[in-house]
Amino acid sequence: MQPAERSRVPRIDPYGFERPEDFDDAAYEKFFSSYLVTLTRRAIKWSRLLQGGGVPRSRTDYYSPAMLGLKTDQEVLGELVRAKLPAVGALMERLGVLWTLLVSRWFICLFVDILPVETVLRIWDCLFNEGSKIIFRVALTLIKQHQELILEATSVPDICDKFKQITKGSFVMECHTFMQKIFSEPGSLSMATVAKLRESCRARLLAQG
């Protein structure tokens, strides 16, 4: 490919991958002939899940009248923020802000209509293949990346506005970079850790009635 032709090729390809400046067209095409096979397998899995046959068990009571699953996961996020981002956790407690005011739509909608569609699709791909810990990785990354902005909040309305701001802008538009960040910014986070936190948070909510 000639330099003039190369300059007309978009930097981000249709699948959200960033092309290096010196990418080799032949090698690129060879890679994607294999990658399309992977995409096809993922598409089949997505189809089965979206038909209702594979909703993760942890999400089945998100939509029950009591919404216990949703409340549990919001409490889990609160525990993770207190452990990994203590300054934000302390601000939440000082202002008396409930996580349900800030992240209910994130969890219920799996970030649809909250983050750009290309980013949402990449998140879903990871969610269906790695489990619901991905929801917490995304939430923690958004909060950590904008921690300084959030810490400027001085009231409940103010912090609600900050949380609306952190889902917009170039950080979430660059889906490839964003997806790399969700696996580095939050640090270690296993499904075993999430399961343990869910158990304790659920028990606490049930005890509160």
- How is the chain split into domains, by residue range? 3-52, 56-208
Cα(98)–Cα(38) distance, integer angstroms: 41
Superfamily name with CATH number, domain 56-208: Ypt/Rab-GAP domain of gyp1p, domain 3 (1.10.472.80)
Q: In the structure encoding, which two tokens stand for residue 12, read together?
A: 């981000």
pLDDT of residue 34: 67
Cα(209)–Cα(203) distance, integer angstroms: 10
User: What's the burial of 73, exposed, middle or buried (CB within 10 Å: 0-12/13-18/19+)?
Assistant: buried
C-alpha separations of 78 from 17, 52, 89, 201 in Å: 32, 29, 7, 10
Using alpha carbons only, how large is the chain's radius of gyration in Å?
Answer: 19
Cα(156)–Cα(59) distance, integer angstroms: 28
pLDDT of residue 172: 95
Q: In the structure encoding, which two tokens stand for residue 154, read together?
A: 């001085």
Cα(170)–Cα(26) distance, integer angstroms: 31
Q: Specify whether the CB–CB gap between 191 and 197 falls below 8 A.
A: no
pLDDT of residue 10: 64
pLDDT of residue 161: 95
The three-class DSSP label of residue 66 is coil
Backbone angles phi, psi at 34, to 5 degrees: -80, -40
Cα(146)–Cα(143) distance, integer angstroms: 5
- From first to last of its 209 residues, the chain has per-residue pLDDT tens of 455 555 555 666 555 556 666 666 676 667 666 666 666 666 666 556 555 544 455 555 777 788 888 999 999 999 999 999 999 999 999 999 999 999 999 998 889 889 998 899 899 888 888 888 999 999 999 999 999 999 999 999 999 999 999 999 999 999 999 999 999 999 999 999 999 999 999 999 999 87
Dihedral angle at the C-alpha atoms of 112, 113, 116, 120, nearest 10 degrees? 0
